[in-house]
Amino acid sequence: MTTFVPTTAAEVLSTVAWAAAEDSPLEILGHGSKRGIGRPQQSEHTLDLSRLSGVMLYEPAELVLSAKAGTPLAEIESLLAENGQQLAFEPMDYGPLLGGEPARGTIGGALAANLSGPRRLKAGAARDHILGIAAVSGRGEAFKSGGRVVKNVTGYDLSKLMANSWGTLAVLTDVTFKVLPAAETEVTLAIRGLLDDHAAAAMALALGSSAEVSSAAHLPERVAARVAGGSLGSDAATLLRIEGFGPSVAYRIAALKDLLKNAGPLQEISGSVSYSVWRDVRDCAPFADGSERPVWRVSMAPSRGHQMVLALRMQAPVDAFYDWQGGLIWLRMQQDDPEAGLLRGLIRRHGGGHATLVRATPSHRAAVPVFEPQAPQLAALSARLKAEFDPKNILNPGRMAPGASSATLAPATEGGAQ
Amino acid sequence: MSGLAMPKPDDATMRRRDEIVADMRIMVPGEGVVDAANAMRAFESDGLTAYRQLPLVVVLPQTVAQVSRVLKYCSDRNIRVVPRGSGTSLSGGALPLEDAVLLVMSRFNRILEIDFQNRVVVAQPGVTNLGITTAVEQEGFYYAPDPSSQIACSIGGNVAENSGGVHCLKYGLTANNVLGIEMVLMNGEVVRLGGSHLDAEGYDLLGVMTGSEGLLGVVTEVTVRILKKPETARALLIGFPTSEQAGQCVADIIGAGIIPGGMEMMDRPAIHAAEDFVQAGYPLDVEALLIVELDGPGVEVDHLIGLVEAIAFRNGSTTCRTSQSEQERLSFWAGRKAAFPAVGRISPDYYCMDGTIPRKELPRVLAGMRELSEKYGLGVANVFHAGDGNLHPLILYDANVPGELDKAESFGADILRLCVKVGGVLTGEHGVGVEKRDLMPEMFNQIDLDQQMRVKCAFDPNHLLNPGKVFPQLRRCAELGRMHVHRGQVAFPDIPRF
């Protein structure tokens, strides 16, 4: 067991080239804040990128920032904040949910996991903001893709290919992101006491208006008490975030209040409380309970999420809350069994989507596909891509799909093949 | 065709043309197969009209099963296929090959689902970009990316090219507005990526497919997100004595935290050509003209107009008008939107380029372009998506003058080299196609290009789908697949520690 701690892209290249020559798998690590996500690996060595760190270029007027992949996300976010800017995709912090420290994680990890947050509805995810990368493939080849400008269709977008690849295709060395102005003002309108289906209707109404709602979450009864230090109380809270310039926010909040005047009791939340509510929704704080009880991250068409959850509740005790207008469902199982087959079957019956088992014991993560099993043709295509970039299967082997021996693609053990 | 090498036609395929046409008629019955030379003329080029080539046969399938069958048939027999949407590509992405089936997706022209609850539309790929907005505008919604060919260009083609438009500064490109696709691989397999949910699972193949220029798969269905129309939109028309001042104004607007719905710049030749053509009321005594459009609730737009006016004044604007009516806003845009045909009036032909640069490099690039213009003896007019640095130099030439097309192309290539040199890229939204194919090494080294070709190998290992586009030189996938590392020959025979 050796841990490589490169400080330059050239050192990353020689490490990966060595590992490829030796057929020696590497676990690719930033701060390790998301290490517990994915199938458990048995990599011989670790490639720790935490010292490949530093912002290389930041030009606020050009809305662009380049950094080495191991640069702490927190460092980048505070640099941007000093200039009134932000990563608009609002990358979540998995640390607290997975029992780690808060505010860890690197900018490379944010892309590799395609992080996003409550602003997903309006601003997209890391994939929507990445402009360019430099990386080392599992063949031990250093390559670049994209650039530092927003509009670029020169060649295939390999930068996006890195999003949600969890370090299985290439080791990122540099990343360049689009950055955007941070909103001047943020106000949240909460509708209190709604059941899930009423909340879904209210959120759809709000998002279908011209109020430019940037985030919409629903915290059912009791879950609401677990955000912002309990300041919301325990009644269900359906949250609509409005961001922008002061006069515009005031106008749109007024318009939303008028639109939703019959939906339920309305409450306006501003300032630091609004900020911490959305930070806690982003980080799945309600389920950051220090346990290893299974937590699922489910993505579905927004209007279908609550129907699936209702059906699931009939068969398994779960806690749930919703972000993205109901399209992102966080589920915590009340018992030890992740109930993967049941959940994935219900998702298929409610219009499709996918479920990721983001928290579970290592034994469950070894036994249950953590990432949604794909239809056979798509799984085969993904495996061919993996084989092109990492033919010896040395980069995070087995983390996303079963390892090399089955890279030609065993259909999923449960659920996937339809 | 000016010296562009395309893949050598396959003799075996050419010899079997009659048999292939007959088989296509069985697979796509009815009016779906066109093989007469005069009828195929309509398909011999796309928006890059300098290049023309009749295909082997034109096939217009109507169902996914037909697409799958045709592709599998071609895959099994090593026959090349060029996919085509509406044929509006400005880079030759849909240029036919002599030995290739031209697969035209225009009969896939239905909207399949409109879902206002989730704000998505599911459309067949031949639906036009504007057709999506038309289908939802009665409810106050629209589809945001708006390439200037939006009346004609297809949504499937938008996916293939990752199309932009003047509104993509604020609302994103096609890649940011497509949630899912169904596609057929060259081997005939049907694959679905994403759907009505917000993020697709697994590797971001949707991201890779978007902008892949028809080399990876044939899109048979597209799910896009739609947005509620902003309550109001108003535009400012701002003139500057120098392009430096206009560029600084753009930087300061963004520096103030304002992302306008659109922000366009025109240089003096473009301003004059447009004004002569449509009489938009543009000032003629300025070097650079900015159109800044702000959209949203009226109160927000009014607030931002005040801020932008102050920024323009600080940067030395000599004229600044704000639209007072929808009619006036449209008149501001009329000149910009007519810029291409307007330039077409002052020159027998023009060649439209598409580089992107870091915005701050604009003065340097404009100066470089003036030098090149003198060197080549050809005029150039510039329209510029100022917010995102996407330049559209229009090179003026006369195709009837021997050698001028070649000169224009060399001029264009030099402009793109300049863009890359200052930190920009070869193409912002028009695609590489055949046009910029041979310039790819200006931006990428062989290892970079190899990684892109490896993606191609995962999708289409025999290079049958749209060959001759994007990549300057095709390398066989078997050759690309070899690993060139050997035990004991790398830098660190022992375990390195840093």
Q: Tens digits of per-residue pLDDT, A356-392?
A: 999 999 999 999 999 999 999 999 999 999 999 999 9
Contacts of A144 in chain B (CB under 8 A): 444, 448
Q: A199: left (phi > 0), else alpha (psi -120 to 50), else beta?
A: alpha
Task: State the pLDDT at residue A405.
Answer: 39
Task: State the pLDDT at residue B2.
Answer: 52
Chain B residue nearest residue A165, CA to CA: B203
Domain ranges in chain A are 3-180, 185-281, 285-367
Q: CB-CB: which of A152, A208, A392 is closest to B119?
A: A208
Contacts of A250 in chain B (CB under 8 A): 299
Q: CB-CB: which of A59, A208, A375 is closest to B228?
A: A208
> Which of B120, B176, B199, B479 best tests the A interface by mutation, with the highest count of A CBs <10 A?
B199
Tokens of B215: 């080399």
3-state class percentages of chain A: helix first, strand second, coil last, to nearest 5: 35, 25, 40
Residue B30 C-alpha, separation from nearest chain A C-alpha, in angstroms = 31
The answer to which of A204-213, A402-411, B351-360 has the lowest mean pLDDT is: A402-411
Contacts with B, A 147-166, CB within 8 Å? 147-158, 160-165
Chain region(s) in chain B for CATH 3.30.43.10: 11-104
Taken in order A132, A133, A139, A142, is the CA torsion positive or negative?
Answer: positive
Please give the Cα distance from B263 to B269 (Å, whole number). 19
CB B474 within 8 A of CB B7: yes
Residue A35 C-alpha, separation from nearest chain B C-alpha, in angstroms = 17
Task: State the pLDDT at residue B20.
Answer: 98
The residue count of chain B comes to 498
CB A400 within 8 A of CB A383: no
Residue B310 C-alpha, separation from nearest chain A C-alpha, in angstroms = 17
A142 shares contact with chain B (CB less than 8 Å)? yes
Q: CB-CB: which of A2, A62, A114 is closest to B358?
A: A62
CATH architecture of B11-104: 2-Layer Sandwich (3.30)
Please give the Cα distance from B79 to B13 (Å, whole number). 7
Contacts of B180 in chain A (CB under 8 A): none
**How many Å separate Cα B384 from the centre of its chain?**
15
Task: State the pLDDT at residue A416.
Answer: 35
Which burial class, exposed, middle or buried, applies to B158 when counting CB atoms under 10 A from its CB (0-12, 13-18, 19+)? buried
**Distance of CA A180 to CAs A93, A408, B230, B403, Å?**
20, 42, 20, 46
Task: State the pLDDT at residue A269.
Answer: 98
Chain A residue nearest residue B255, CA to CA: A61
Task: State the pLDDT at residue A403.
Answer: 61
CB A220 within 8 A of CB A309: no
A vs B, Cβ pairs < 8 A, gives 303
Helical packing angle, B268-278 and B339-346, nearest 10°: 90
Chain region(s) in chain B for CATH 3.30.465.10: 111-228
**Residue closest to A181 by CA, chosen among B387, B55, B241:** B387
Contacts of B197 in chain A (CB under 8 A): 299-301, 327, 352-354
CATH number of A185-281: 3.30.70.2190
pLDDT band at A44 (very low <50, low <70, confident <90, very high): confident
Residue A208 C-alpha, separation from nearest chain B C-alpha, in angstroms = 6
A139 shares contact with chain B (CB less than 8 Å)? yes
Fold of A285-367: Alpha-Beta Plaits (3.30.70)
The answer to which of A214-228, A398-412, B306-320, B412-426 has the lowest mean pLDDT is: A398-412
Right CATH number for B111-228 from 3.30.465.10, 3.20.20.70, 3.40.50.920, 3.30.230.70? 3.30.465.10
Across the interface, whether the CB atoms of A140 and B485 are under 8 A apart is answered: yes
- If DSSP codes are grouped into helix, strand and coil, which group holds residue B97? coil
pLDDT in tens, chain B (498 residues): 456 889 999 999 999 999 999 999 999 999 999 999 999 999 999 999 889 999 999 999 999 999 999 999 999 999 999 999 999 999 999 999 999 999 999 999 999 999 999 999 999 999 999 999 999 999 999 999 999 889 999 999 999 999 998 889 999 999 999 999 999 999 999 999 999 999 989 999 999 999 999 999 999 999 999 999 999 999 999 999 999 999 999 999 998 999 999 999 999 999 999 999 999 999 999 999 999 999 999 999 999 999 999 999 999 999 999 999 999 999 999 999 888 889 989 999 999 999 999 998 998 999 999 999 999 999 999 999 999 999 999 999 999 999 999 999 999 999 999 999 999 999 999 999 999 999 999 999 999 999 999 999 999 999 999 999 999 988 889 888 887 655 544 454 444 444
A407 shares contact with chain B (CB less than 8 Å)? no
Contacts with B, A 6-35, CB within 8 Å? 6-7, 11, 14-15, 17-18, 20-22
Residue B18 C-alpha, separation from nearest chain A C-alpha, in angstroms = 33
Across the interface, whether the CB atoms of B498 and A156 are under 8 A apart is answered: no
Residue B356 C-alpha, separation from nearest chain A C-alpha, in angstroms = 7
Q: CB-CB: which of A139, A141, A152 is closest to B428?
A: A152
Chain B residue nearest residue A380, CA to CA: B458
Task: State the pLDDT at residue B475.
Answer: 85
Across the interface, whether the CB atoms of A64 and B358 are under 8 A apart is answered: yes
Amino acid at A136: V
CB A294 within 8 A of CB A357: yes
Fold of B347-437: Alpha-Beta Plaits (3.30.70)
Contacts with B, A 89-128, CB within 8 Å? 114, 116, 120-121, 124-125, 127-128
Q: Is the pLDDT of residue A202 over 70?
A: yes
Task: State the pLDDT at residue B4.
Answer: 80
Chain B residue nearest residue A246, CA to CA: B300
Chain B residue nearest residue A245, CA to CA: B300
A372 shares contact with chain B (CB less than 8 Å)? yes
Across the interface, whether the CB atoms of A141 and B450 are under 8 A apart is answered: yes
Q: What is the mean pLDDT of residues A399-412?
A: 54
Chain A residue nearest residue B432, CA to CA: A154
**Residue closest to B185 by CA, chosen among B453, B462, B474, B432:** B462
Q: CB-CB: which of A4, A60, A149 is closest to B497?
A: A4
Task: State the pLDDT at residue A3.
Answer: 95
Chain A residue nearest residue B259, CA to CA: A181
Contacts of A184 in chain B (CB under 8 A): 257
Task: State the pLDDT at residue A1.
Answer: 82
- A350-370 in b/e form (b: 16+ CB < 10 A) is bbbbbbbbbbbeeebbeebbb
Residue A124 C-alpha, separation from nearest chain B C-alpha, in angstroms = 7
Helical segments of A224-293, H only? 246-259, 271-282
Find all residues with CB under 8 Å of A102, minimum gap 6, and list them: A93, A95, A96, A283
Across the interface, whether the CB atoms of A247 and B203 are under 8 A apart is answered: no
Chain region(s) in chain B for CATH 3.30.70.2740: 347-437
Across the interface, whether the CB atoms of B303 and A387 are under 8 A apart is answered: no
Average pLDDT over chain A, rounded to whole?
94
Please give the Cα distance from B49 to B87 (Å, whole number). 10
CATH architecture of A3-180: 2-Layer Sandwich (3.30)
Contacts with B, A 222-281, CB within 8 Å? 244-245, 247-248, 250-252, 255
A281-326: pLDDT as tens digits: 999 999 999 999 999 999 999 999 999 999 999 999 999 999 999 9
Across the interface, whether the CB atoms of A302 and B485 are under 8 A apart is answered: no
Contacts of B457 in chain A (CB under 8 A): 384, 388
A58 shares contact with chain B (CB less than 8 Å)? no
**CATH class of domain segment(s) B232-340:** alpha beta
Q: What is the mean pLDDT of residues A90-107?
A: 97
Half-sphere exposure of B266 (CA within 13 A, CB side): 30
